[in-house]
Amino acid sequence: MNRERVDQLTKEIGPDNIPILLGIFTGELVTYQEQLSSGALEDKLTQLAEICHALKSSAASFGAEPLCQLAIEVDTLSKQNNLPHDQALIDKVLALLDKTHSTYMSFLAELES
């Protein structure tokens, strides 16, 4: 987590709003994990492309740089019709979604204490 980016966002939107927006962001991460965890591979790859397109901006906004970088890579592969047709990339995104979610939930707990 890029704390400088989070601090900048806090200054832009106000300290009272950051827990609300982080709550929305972490909720989206859970939704994305659920969407990528079930269904046929082709369906998950379609979801992966859509999710990573959305994550490019939201992850950047909240300073989730590793997730943003991976989302950009996947979005580029998708636009070039070069997404690998296997579970490995989905698993990589799922692992990073989980790690990012844990990091931001810990940060939210700090804010609320």
Q: Output the average pLDDT for the chain.
A: 94
Give the pLDDT band (50/70/90) at residue 84.
Answer: very high
Contacts of 112 (CB under 8 A, 6+ apart): 19
Indicate the domain borders of the chain: 3-112
Residues 14-51 have pLDDT tens digits of 999 999 999 999 999 999 999 999 999 999 999 999 99
Give the pLDDT band (50/70/90) at residue 111.
Answer: confident
**Domain 3-112, second-level architecture:** Up-down Bundle (1.20)
Mean pLDDT of 56-73: 96
Considering the entire predicted model, what is its pTM? 0.92
List Cα–Cα distances, 33 to 10, 81, 96, in angstroms: 26, 23, 10
The dihedral formed by the CA atoms of 40, 42, 47 and 48, expressed in degrees to the nearest 10: 110
Contacts of 8 (CB under 8 A, 6+ apart): none
